[in-house]
Amino acid sequence: MILAPFLTSCQEECPITTAALLVIHRAIVHDGLSKKVAIVEVTVDPGRDTPERMTAYAKLTGSSWPLLTGSSAALASLWRYFGMYYQKVPEGSPPGINWQTQRPYTYDVDHSDGFVLLDSHLHERFIAGGMTTVGRIPANLEKLLDSQGRSDLRNPGGGTWTVSDALNAIGWVLGRTIAMAT
């Protein structure tokens, strides 16, 4: 299982991570591994990420995997266990615009980027921290990016991981090679 932190209001790295997960998902399906490998994005913003908003985000982005939310306490415990950081912070100026309501956001959430790879027994086998390098992303996801997100897409900086890195890690856990689908 690939477990990735995200929030539906993120305008920097999360849409880029979702784009990378779309490519990973295609490769998993192409190699016939969809019953062995699950992708799950779990929010770091339980205050806004309701099940209804998560469903709208999945439809908007083309995500076909589970997008999960929960209580603040449960999510804090989950992400603390995996060493992922997140914290509610003031919204920037000018504030980002909510893709669903077209109204300004009132707060943001700083958080760790990356993913955790769990084996079939839910043991942590691999962790990738930092932003992802994915190149081009679908227009529907690019529209979610603010200026910082567009900059991150062009120059992800240190601590980056790639789709190939993720597929290699999954292959390592499964004991096989996974090819990128074209």
182 confidence band (pLDDT: 50, 70, 90):
low
Task: Name the 3-class secondary structure at 17.
Answer: helix
Distance CA 142, CA 148 (A): 12
What are the chain's domains? 2-174 (3.40.30.10)
63-76 tens-digit pLDDT: 999 999 999 999 99
Closest C-alpha to 40, from 64, 71, 19, 67: 67
pLDDT of residue 167: 95
Residue 160 has pLDDT above 90, yes or no: no
pLDDT of residue 177: 85
Stretch among 5-19, 101-115, 167-181 having the lowest mean pLDDT: 167-181
Residue 157 has pLDDT above 90, yes or no: no
Residue 148 has pLDDT above 80, yes or no: yes
pLDDT of residue 59: 96
Percentage of the chain beyond pLDDT 90 is 85
Closest C-alpha to 69, from 89, 85, 53: 53
> What mean pLDDT comes out for the span 165-177?
92
What is the pTM (predicted TM-score) of this model?
Answer: 0.94
83-141 tens-digit pLDDT: 999 999 999 899 999 999 999 999 999 999 999 999 999 999 999 988 998 888 999 99
Contact 65/40 with Cβ under 8 angstroms? yes
